[in-house]
Amino acid sequence: MWMETKTEVGEASRSRASFSRRALNALLLCTGDMKHLDEYMQDKLFVLQLAVWGLRGVARVILANNPLSGVLILAALYWASPWQGLLGTVGVLVSTLTAIIMGQDSAEVSGGLHGFNGMLVSLLMGAFSSAGDWYWWLLLPVCLGSATCVFLFSGLSSVMDRWDLPVAVFPFNIIIFLYLLCTGQDNPYFPHRQALPPGALEPNGTALIAVEVIRGIPLGVGQIFACGALGPSLLILGAVLLYSPLLAVHALLGSAVGTLAGLSMAVRHGSLYSGLSGFNGALGCMAVGGLFFTFSWRTHLFAIASAFLSAYADIALCNLLGTVGLPACSWAGTLTATLMLLMTGSLAAHRIPIGQVMAPEHNLRSRSQWAAGNTAERESTDV
């Protein structure tokens, strides 16, 4: 009896343990880069494969590489505005399909690298349009712009490869400029709003509301997708958290740094409240803190420096481009991240080659294993 009971208890606890272990494993399977999904999808229908590539592309916008994050982000966009969600979906699909037709590298396509620029172009075309939602003619430039992103991605990658740099969102930034400049201010077919420089003075000196400023910090994460609502922004943050908690922390930190920089330069209140001051800081901080460099206290400090540089550069570019009615988009964050990747010295020692970049947690683990291996080797050679 005693033995039996013990066995039963043991079995129950074991089954509980195995259940929680299985639950943890299931959760772990959904985090990080989900490389195992690629093998699973290999012989599935093309439409299913395309969906996974597209979802990876959606997540790539915010530097994540996880289809489930992509699902969450897409849900957030449809929640914020179904029209914007539709535009984003069209953008990511059109540019991924264009890449396939143009015979781009299949590993790049399946990694979602040809989707995120197209998605951003579509979202921003929608956000700047002043023709209102469900203006179907907008799908024409959306499709053309998304397809053109593949041209620019492919061309720029030949140049950037020399320094092992990612193409990042340079194609998006160029295409959205071309679109806004092309259509001009009073285009009869595709009217759009002018960008307001952040240094523009308020009509009357209203006091700054602290709660609104703090609310702007998570909104800064949402603004990476041109989304200015709190709920969807938090869902987007959750999507990043699913991919990598470290990346999510850096996203919030960068957005806070960006808001701080905006405060120090006395930018428009609207810019602080809407999160527009924060999103470049978030991008600069995420790129350095964990993704392209192994996480350490030193990299962390560089990530904060990168966030400040991104944020100030964004204010500068907004003021410059505002004179010709253009938004600064994510030029500041992208240029700063590229600069950081080019740097020599102690930061370069932590750099991960672009081909081996994965979720920060994975980078950290593989680095420590590799370092441990090195130590073991050194010890063995000492003997």
| Three-state DSSP class for residue 192 | strand
Q: Does the protein bind its own copies through residue 315 (CB under 8 A)?
A: yes
| Three-state DSSP class for residue 268 | coil
Among 117, 122, 183, 280, binds its own copies (CB under 8 A): 183
Q: Does the protein bind its own copies through residue 157 (CB under 8 A)?
A: yes
User: Which among 148-156, 219-227, 273-281, 289-297 is the span making contact with its own copies, rule CB under 8 A?
Assistant: 148-156
CA distance 282 to 61: 12
> Which residue's CB is nearer to its own copies, number 227 or number 309?
309
CB of 342 to its own copies, least distance (A): 4
73-104 exposure pattern, b = at least 16 Cβ within 10 A, e = fewer: bbebbbebbebbbbbbbbbbbbbbbbbbeeeb
Site string for its own copies, 213-242 (x = CB under 8 A): ------------------------------
CB of 358 to its own copies, least distance (A): 23
Other C-beta atoms closer than 10 Å to the C-beta of 370 total: 11
CA distance 86 to 3: 62
Total length of the chain: 383
Show contacts of 363-370: CB within 8 Å, 24+ apart: 363/290, 363/291, 363/294, 363/295, 364/246, 364/290, 364/294, 364/295, 367/294
Q: Does the protein bind its own copies through residue 135 (CB under 8 A)?
A: no
Sequential DSSP letters for 13-74: HHHHHHHHHHHHHHHHHHSTT-HHHHHHHTTS-HHHHHHHHHHHHHHHTTT---HHHHHHHH
Q: Does the protein bind its own copies through residue 208 (CB under 8 A)?
A: no
Q: Which two tokens stand for residue 129?
A: 């349009």
Q: Does the protein bind its own copies through residue 345 (CB under 8 A)?
A: yes
Cα angle: 148, vertex 149, 153; to 5 degrees: 125
Site string for its own copies, 250-289 (x = CB under 8 A): --------------xxx-----------------------
> Which residue's CB is nearer to its own copies, number 129 or number 244?
129
CB of 300 to its own copies, least distance (A): 14
CB of 171 to its own copies, least distance (A): 10
Q: How many residues bind its own copies (CB under 8 A)?
A: 54
Among 48, 263, 342, 372, binds its own copies (CB under 8 A): 342
> Residue holding tokens 């272990």?
21
> Which residue's CB is nearer to its own copies, number 75 or number 178?
178
Sequential DSSP letters for 298-356: HHHHHHHHHHHHHHHHHHHHHHHHHTTT---TTHHHHHHHHHHHH--TTTGGGBPPGGG
User: Which among 21-29, 38-46, 278-286, 317-325 is the span making contact with its own copies, rule CB under 8 A?
Assistant: 317-325
Q: Does the protein bind its own copies through residue 169 (CB under 8 A)?
A: no
Q: Does the protein bind its own copies through residue 244 (CB under 8 A)?
A: no
Q: Does the protein bind its own copies through residue 347 (CB under 8 A)?
A: yes
Q: Does the protein bind its own copies through residue 45 (CB under 8 A)?
A: no
Torsion of CA 343, 348, 60, 255, to 10 degrees: -70
CB of 245 to its own copies, least distance (A): 28
CB of 154 to its own copies, least distance (A): 4
> Which residue's CB is nearer to its own copies, number 76 or number 176?
176
User: Which among 151-159, 219-227, 268-276, 279-287 is the span making contact with its own copies, rule CB under 8 A?
Assistant: 151-159
CA distance 152 to 150: 5
Interaction site with its own copies (CB under 8 A): 99, 102-105, 148, 151-152, 154-159, 162-163, 177-179, 181-189, 199, 201, 264-266, 305, 309, 312-313, 315-317, 319-320, 323-324, 338-340, 342-347, 349
